[in-house]
Amino acid sequence: MFFPSNIRILRLRKHRTQDVVANELGFSRSTMNSYENGAVRNPTLDALMAFSKYFKISIDTLVKIDLSKLSESQISELERGNDVYITGSRLRVLATTIGNNKVENIEIVNQHRARAGYKSGYADPEYLKRLPSFQLPILFNDRKYRMFQISGDSMLPIPDKSWVIGEYLENWYDIKDGQAYIVLTLDDGIVFKILNNRLRKERMLELTSLNSEYKPYEIHATEIKEVWKFCNYISDVVPDTIAQKNSLLSKIQIIEQEIGAMRSSL
Q: Could you read off the pLDDT of 189-211 as tens digits, one per residue?
A: 899 999 999 998 898 999 999 99
Domain match, 124 and 47 both = no
Helix (H, G, I), strand (E, B) or coil at 72: helix
| Alpha carbon distance 106, 165 (integer Å) | 9
Instruction: Let me know if residue 251 belongs to a domain.
Output: no
For residue 56, the 8-state DSSP code is T
Domain hosting 36: range is 3-69
Supply angle C-alpha 32, 68, 81, rounded to 5: 80
Name the domain count of the chain. 2
pTM for this model (two decimals): 0.62
Q: Give the DSSP H/E element, type plus range, for residue 248.
A: helix 242-265
Instruction: Let me know if residue 43 belongs to a domain.
Output: yes
Domain match, 127 and 230 both = yes
Instruction: Let me know if residue 78 belongs to a domain.
Output: no
Q: pLDDT for 94-109, tens place per residue?
A: 778 888 887 889 999 9
Domain match, 139 and 229 both = yes
Instruction: Let me know if residue 52 belongs to a domain.
Output: yes
Judge contact between 220 and 229, C-beta under 8 A. no
Q: What is the mean pLDDT of the chain?
A: 85
The CATH number of residue 20's host domain is 1.10.260.40
Instruction: Let me know if residue 111 belongs to a domain.
Output: yes
Query: Closest by alpha carbon to 194, among 170, 211, 169, 173?
Result: 211
The CATH number of residue 180's host domain is 2.10.109.10
Domain match, 110 and 157 both = yes
Domain match, 48 and 168 both = no
Q: pLDDT for 111-141, tens place per residue?
A: 876 667 888 888 788 888 889 999 998 888 8
